[in-house]
Chains A and B, each alone.
Chain A
Amino acid sequence: SQKIEQNSEALNIQEGKTATLTCNYTNYSPAYLQWYRQDPGRGPVFLLLIRENEKEKRKERLKVTFDTTLKQSLFHITASQPADSATYLCALDMIRSNYQLIWGAGTKLIIKP
């Protein structure tokens, strides 16, 4: 079955630097890959979606890349701010799963002032 791996260790980044989070999957490539942000006590909030035939997607300070050869997506936050501190989840949108999302456990990002 499809497995998704995100770094379980918290990622500590100095304010102003670029934070890079990794999402690796094991089996067949998803049609789409989504990134969400989750704050404590809240539900996940959608950030970006990238299609399997896209290499890169940008939205303001956010950038997502998708490498189907490496079976990996990278999520970048440039000019990071303390307000970016949260847990970031990747989710695979698998056609073969009736378009249900398969989720990683998330990586906790801490931006230090």
Chain B
Amino acid sequence: DTAVSQTPKYLVTQMGNDKSIKCEQNLGHDTMYWYKQDSKKFLKIMFSYNNKELIINETVPNRFSPKSPDKAHLNLHINSLELGDSAVYFCASSSGWEGTEAFFGQGTRLTVV
């Protein structure tokens, strides 16, 4: 069983469109995350979500919004896509406690044309 699964793996879309990426974890973790990995390979935290508390990276445009229907799911919705949004997006989860590892999904490669 896949611990953290996200769909789709690839997403090609036009500028201005709205798209969503889905993420599910079956580890029973309390905390989920969305990361963006750019062409330079830096992983940048976008959001963390713990027990309905959302912590937002202030540099993330408000076109990006996380939605969590329950503890096992954290979806990422993006409005009005721009060329600069092209990147690989990773969902991850952890227990949320200090010193615990993060488990990552396979990533979604988003290409905006």
Contact = CB atoms under 8 A, between A and B. Distances in A.
Interface of A: 31-32, 34, 41-46, 49, 51, 87, 89, 91, 93, 95, 98-101, 103, 105-106
Please tell me the size bucket of the interface on B: 20 to 34
B42 A99 contact: no
Given A98-B48, A99-B97, A100-B48, A46 B102 contact: yes
Interface stretch (B66-74, B75-83, B103-111): B103-111
27 contacts: A31-B99, A32-B98, A32-B99, A34-B101, A43-B90, A43-B92, A43-B104, A43-B107, A44-B102, A44-B104, A45-B104, A46-B102, A51-B99, A89-B43, A91-B43, A91-B102, A93-B99, A98-B48, A99-B96, A100-B33, A100-B48, A101-B45, A103-B42, A105-B40, A105-B41, A105-B42, A106-B41
Nearest to B90: A43
Residue with the highest number of chain A CB atoms closer than 10 Å, among B44, B102, B103, B107: B102
Contact of B106 (A43, A46, A51, A100): A43
Contacts of B55: 98, 100
Q: Which 4 pairs across A and B sit closest by C-beta, in order of nearness?
A: A43-B104, A46-B101, A103-B43, A32-B99
Contacts of B90: 43-44
Contacts of A34: 101
Interface in B33-92: 33, 40-45, 48, 55, 90, 92
